[in-house]
A and B are shown apart, each in its own frame.
Chain A
Amino acid sequence: MGSLFRSEEVCLAQLFLQSASAYSCISELGERGLLEFRDLNPKVSPFQRRFVGEVRRCEEMEKTFTFLQQELRAAGRLPAPCPESPRAPAAREALRVQEQSEQLAQELREVSRSRSSLRDRLRDLRQHLHVLREGQRFTSLPVGPGVPAGLGREPILDPSLHHHLDRKINFVAGVIHPWRVTAFERLLWRACRGYLVASFVEMPEPMEDPATGESITWVIFLISYWGEQIGQKIRKISNCFHCQVYGYPESEASRTEAITRLHGQIQELSTLEETEKYLAEVLDKVAQVLPTWRVQVQKMKAIYLVLNQCSFDVTKKCLIAEVWCPVRDLTQVQDALRQGSVSGSCFVQRVPTTESPPTLIRTNKFTAGFQSIVDAYGVASYQEVNPAPYAIITFPFIFAIMFGDVGHGLLMFLFALWMVLYEDSPRLRQGTNEIWLTFFEGRYLILLMGAFSIYTGFIYNECFSKATAIFPSAWSVATMANHSSWSSAYLATHPSLTLDPNVTGVFQGPYPFGIDPIWSLATNHLNFLNSFKMKMSVVLGIVHMGFGVMLGVFNHVHFQQRHRLVLEFLPEMIFLLALFGYLVFLIFYKWIKFSAADSRVAPSILIHFIDMFLFTSNAENLPLYPGQVPVQMVLVVLALASVPVLLLGTPLYQWCRQRAPRTVRPRAVGGFMGITRRGIQHDFAEIFMHQAIHTIEYCLGCVSNTASYLRLWALSLAHAQLSEVLWSMVMRNGFVGLSYVGGVVLVPVFAAFAVLTVAILLVMEGLSAFLHALRLHWVEFQNKFYVGAGYKLCPFAFAPDTWE
């Protein structure tokens, strides 16, 4: 198992790189992703570093790429992702890439510009053409006292204008945005008071708005007016409304001539087509090479950033890099350096250090999920015991205790199974929804959670809140009825009766697998289940915590602190077992020794436990076994005696070791306490303080954490009650009618039941149980042995390209 049990051995190493082959060596190392580089120039600002010029060049190229990318996206093309990952380019190739990209960008800019100007011109011409054509409709009819017939709106005409007819009529024609027509008309009427005739008609085809680019059906207006000042007013108003005004010739003939001229001009703009084709070609070329270039330049920039972190040894003309390297991979690093360098002159050398190396835990796709939930609380300190391999099973198990239901567990299991079986499908992997990605990352976790929930569901005997009678129930109603002569008349007068296990034949042995199904029919089922679940929570909690304390042994042994085995582990274990291990014993003893015969005088474990601490006794509470009181006294004294050992043992031991004359073998004491070689009083105070805090935390924690495990009971009760409510208040209503109508009614009732089951019981309760299981692991379990003060090894590796 190696790596998952505790983090790998990581050493500090120095790489000696020839200046000439430094780039290719780092490129090779980046491809393999083994080492974490340390910054040897922390005080140098980014602008003063050695390779800042190259980094700037890369950034310029990236700017060009961004521009090209935007152009591609504007044209509606998606660049294809890079098929295989290209390596970082050498200097000459990089230069070529830069030149080509700039050339392409330049071409693209020119072509786009010419294309847009051509399109503008074309649009202008076509608008003018339309204005003239539509205007013909109004002006080709004789201007008379009658209303000129026009399509669309009715012109505004004041009958009192008759006597103005002999004046010269001028025209203003143009195009206006359809939304502004009403306001335009109103303003014209108010300003010019009827000294004009305005007609509006919609353009036959929609055209592009130059400002926004969307296709709008413009409205052509033709205003005929009398008088110079009116004309000026009209033109000012048209300017305000951003109308495009075109010249409207007076006579018929000049208008037809203008139309023919426009037609000719439009024909000339056939070059627009060629421009479009050329643009498409350029875009194709860009789309082809852009992905590869992007990856190459990203890698190049990353390599130069790493090279900036190396220190330049001018005398030897080589670069020195300091790296954290997993010991297992040292040969691979040497291999990579040999490949990257021309003459094999680069090499790696291990360097001793007193600093704490980063933590590296190698995971596969299955263990990664569990390791991440452990890391979320705190990354393991260097080479301390990793709780993840145990969390693989205990986390889903503790979740399942709070979630136990066969039906819900099955649904969860099937959902996770679907995700696991189709995990390679690109559709699932490339989802962008963050919540979906979270579920997908934890698919193995959910799979195990569902599987264990099915198991605990069978033990709790709950399947969508209904009990299943896989084995026949052990309680016999008939025997009880016969014994107490429960006739139908008797039953009618007594709404509820209890089965008495004291009567022979009523209780016939424990149900072989799980909880007896008769309890789901009983009205006092919570009395029994609460007692069962509370005791179960306490027992499992104490076992979990004891396991946590035992894991600390591995840490003590590994870090060569065997004194802590006697001075810390032993008192901790004694405290836990003497008090809470004894509680577990009492629980099991009462289950085995006391039966219905002595149900009236059955002792209360809780009262015994409290009396144990207070050294008192209660006359009504019979002892569980003879000699209980002295046994308990001994245990409490033992537990109390272990507290000062825990408090003072380790500090005194270390103090004595420092005081004693040092022998010739100086041992490197790595790990938690950072003891200096000189025994100063100041250090001892700190150690003592640390140990006091640890002792208080541990002793008080034992009590409070045991109680904290009662959340297992609380949440499983909540889940059971919720699913029972959902069944009795939603699903049962679908069974009211046993006719065909009832069958039809059942469908929407089931739909409601299904939706509520998934939303409330699966999602909400699932998240709640997940959270509490997480809390139990992070706090109650891990504070018995886990420090979690490390930092992860982040190897320099070329990240897979994320294409936004």
Chain B
Amino acid sequence: MTAHSFALPLVLCSAFWGLVGIAAPWFVPKGPNRGVIITMLVTTAVCCYLFWLIAILAQANPLFGPQLKNETIWGGRFLWE
């Protein structure tokens, strides 16, 4: 219904997970658990970013569209838009 850009979410998400995975490890306080916390931050960032990236790339160029029931189409057409 509304246009979504591809670049904006890409930049925002990359920035966010980059912050978590690359910038935040520098600010972990020194202590016995520093290594574990840094590992956790980096692993989380990599996993979550990759997962989101796969989700958005899979939808970026769809090869086919959704098949809707006629009731859904009627509702979407005449009630929503």
Contacts and interface: CB of A to CB of B under 8 A. Distances in A.
B56 A510 contact: yes
B61 A595 contact: yes
A653 to B, nearest CB: 33
Given A477-B77, A478-B77, A536-B54, A390 B39 contact: yes
A225 interface: no
Q: Which of A5, A393, A456, A594 has the most CB of B within 10 A?
A: A393
Nearest to A363: B36
A508 B70 contact: no
Nearest to B39: A389
Given A1-B34, A2-B35, A507-B62, A532 B70 contact: no
A492 B70 CA distance: 7
B81 to A, nearest CB: 4
B70 A510 contact: no
A1 B4 CA distance: 43
Contact of A509 (B5, B32, B44, B67): B5
A341 B19 CA distance: 56
A365 B51 CA distance: 29
Contacts of A401: 51
B23 interface: no
A708 B22 CA distance: 31
A473 B36 contact: no
Interface in B48-66: 48, 50-52, 54-66
A100 B16 CA distance: 70
Contacts of A478: 1, 76-77, 80-81
B56 A592 contact: no
Contacts of B60: 510, 591-592
Contacts of B8: 512
Contact of A497 (B48, B58, B67): B67
A376 B72 CA distance: 51
B73 to A, nearest CB: 6
B28 to A, nearest CB: 11
A2 B61 CA distance: 46
Contacts of A480: 65
Contacts of B74: 488, 491
A478 B73 CA distance: 8
Contacts of B72: 521
A233 interface: no
Contacts of B34: 1
Interface string A458-495: 01000000000001111111101100001010011011
A509 B3 contact: yes
B24 interface: no
B58 A532 contact: yes
A262 interface: no
Contacts, number: 198
A543 interface: yes
Interface size range of chain B in the complex = 35 or more
A522 B47 contact: no
A304 interface: no
B68 A477 contact: yes
A233 to B, nearest CB: 88
Contact of A602 (B43, B59, B63): B63
Contact of B68 (A474, A497, A528, A532): A497
A596 B77 contact: no
A499 B73 CA distance: 10
B36 A367 contact: yes
Nearest to B76: A477
Q: Which of B3, B8, B34 has the most CB of A within 10 A?
A: B3
Contact of A498 (B44, B57, B64): B64
B62 A476 contact: no
A476 B65 contact: no
B65 A495 contact: no
A99 interface: no
A392 B33 contact: no
A501 B64 contact: yes
Nearest to A388: B36
B1 A591 contact: no
A4 interface: yes
Contact of B55 (A5, A392, A459): A459
Contacts of B51: 397, 401, 455-456, 459, 536, 540
A769 to B, nearest CB: 16
Contacts of A522: 66-68
Nearest to A515: B55
Contacts of B9: 510, 512-513
B59 A515 contact: yes
Contact of A1 (B1, B35, B48): B35
Interface string A496-524: 11111100001111111111101101111
Given A474-B3, A491-B74, A495-B69, 15 more contacts: A1-B34, A4-B35, A393-B40, A397-B44, A473-B2, A481-B73, A497-B73, A498-B65, A507-B62, A510-B6, A513-B9, A528-B62, A536-B58, A540-B54, A596-B62
- Counting from the closest, the 3 A-B pairs by CB-CB distance are A1-B35, A522-B66, A595-B61
Interface of A: 1-2, 4-5, 364, 367, 389-390, 392-394, 397, 401, 455-456, 459, 471-478, 480-481, 486, 488, 491-492, 494-501, 506-516, 518-519, 521-525, 527-528, 531-532, 535-536, 539-540, 543, 588, 591-596, 599, 602
6 contacts: A1-B39, A4-B35, A475-B1, A514-B52, A540-B50, A592-B61
